Amino acid sequence: MASSVAIDPVVTLCPPNHNWRIKVRVVRLWIADGFAGENKPASMELILLDQHGGKIQATVRKLMFRKWGEQFVEGNVYIITFFHLIPNLGAYRPTDHAFRILFNPKTKIIPAESSIIPRWGFSLKDSSQLNDDGFQTEYLVATSEERTYVKDDIVTKMMLLEISDDKGKLECALFGEYVQIVLDYLSSNPLEKPVVVLQLAKLKSFRGKNVLQNVMKASRIIFNPEVAEAESLMDRISGLNMQPNQPVGHIISPNPSVPIFEDFMNNYPKKTICALNETTEDGLFIVYGTVVGLLQDDLWWYFACKCHKAVTFDDGLYFCPGCCKHVMNVSARYKIKLEVFDGTDSGNFLLFDSDAHHLIKKSCKDMLGNLKDPKSAEITPLMEEQLVGKELLFRVEKKSNIFFPV
Do 159 and 46 have their domain in common? no
Is position 117 within any domain? Answer: no
Domain limit, last residue, from 172, 203, 237 = 237
Do 383 and 290 have their domain in common? yes
Total of domains in the chain? 3
User: pLDDT by residue for the chain (406 residues), tens digit each?
Assistant: 344 678 999 999 998 888 899 999 999 998 876 544 445 667 888 999 999 999 999 988 877 877 777 789 999 999 999 999 998 876 667 888 999 999 988 899 999 999 999 888 776 655 555 534 443 334 333 334 444 444 444 456 777 777 776 667 777 888 888 888 888 777 776 656 777 788 887 777 666 677 778 887 888 888 887 777 777 777 666 655 544 444 333 333 334 444 555 555 556 788 888 888 887 777 778 888 888 888 876 677 888 887 778 888 777 788 887 777 788 778 888 888 888 888 888 888 888 877 777 777 777 777 776 655 555 556 666 677 778 888 888 888 776 555 555 5
Domain limit, last residue, from 80, 112, 144 = 112
Q: How far apart are CA 184 and CA 309, in angstroms?
A: 34
CB 165 within 8 A of CB 212: no
CA distances from 196 to 142, 147, 162, 180, 255 (A): 12, 21, 11, 15, 24
One-letter amino acid of 268 = Y
Q: Which of 343, 338, 337, 345 is nearest to 273 (CA)?
A: 345
Do 211 and 318 have their domain in common? no
CB 28 within 8 A of CB 56: no
Is position 242 within any domain? Answer: no
Q: How far apart are CA 132 and CA 201, in angstroms?
A: 12
Q: Which of 117, 107, 112 is nearest to 27 (CA)?
A: 117
Do 288 and 351 have their domain in common? yes
Do 106 and 146 have their domain in common? no
Is position 244 within any domain? Answer: no
DSSP string, 131-148: TS-S-EEEEEEEE---EE
Q: CATH number of the domain at 78, please.
A: 2.40.50.140
Domain, as residue range, for 76: 10-112
Domain limit, last residue, from 189, 221, 237 = 237
Is position 160 within any domain? Answer: yes
Do 398 and 296 have their domain in common? yes
Q: How far apart are CA 105 and CA 113, in angstroms?
A: 24
Do 51 and 75 have their domain in common? yes
CA distances from 153 to 260, 293, 361, 405 (A): 12, 29, 14, 18
Q: How far apart are CA 311 and CA 354, in angstroms?
A: 17
